[in-house]
Structure 1
Amino acid sequence: MEERLKKLGKKQLSELKFTEQHRKNIYRAIEREQKSDEEILIATLQLLKEKRTGFELLQLLEGRNIKKFINQEGSLYLVLHELEQKEWISSLWADNHLKYYYLQDKGRKVLMKAEEKQQRNSPALKDLLGGDILYE
């Protein structure tokens, strides 16, 4: 598909016509790709059920399609520091000079509540159950 797109000139691309429904589906897909702060927090806490370095956590978040920290890795450490201040997570330095982060009991409780709320209000599930499929 990339080859076909490369072959299109700017003039040809600008001449493409989209139906209103197709345009809405595209915008909906873009919105779904952008994760909310709540989704990022839940994913971070879920991943910290096991001890992880900041670098491991960054890779795993990217694996979950969370792009917020790409080219802004330092902002992940700000989030981790804030979570430590709230006593939701803790950290420790290992003998290999790596800092590991892990979930505390307080963080587990917060995570459980957030997951319950997310399951009750899952828009993706509501869309699927309601028959709202992106590409028809």
Structure 2
Amino acid sequence: MDQPQPELGITIDCTDARVVADFWAHALGWVQAPPPPGWSDWPSFLRDHEVPEEEWGDGASICPRSGGGPRISFLKVPEPKTVKNRLHLDVRVSGGRAVEQSLREQRIRATEADLVARGARLQREDRFDGHLDHLVMEDPEGNEFCIV
């Protein structure tokens, strides 16, 4: 029997799926993922799958505006984050090391200010050859990510 090609999905555990999904949708310029084919909206899908209404906020999913690429899902879990992530996301805004350093830093700092205003926290600055290379940040629930 032929099996479909696996697809990559990324899931982030959190205590408030909507808050964290909204943060990441903004950070990446993404949108709420559409419901599966055959359903016009998420409430219809959830109702048809007999998900109790009080659980509708337990998950969220975002995707690129183009619809391509992996989705990032957010799943409510009962326990808070307690240790460092072993996997993290990079928000790549600088253009890379080939871009003039002051422009790279300006782009990184502008993104930092925008995301801090939306609940992120700076954990540390990492430098390479004396220049800012990237920032290690935390999303509103403490999940580490980098602005590069």
Please say which structure displays the higher CA radius of gyration.
Answer: 1
Q: Compare the two structures and name the one with the higher strand fraction.
A: 2
Same fold (TM over 0.5): no
TM-score (norm 2): 0.23
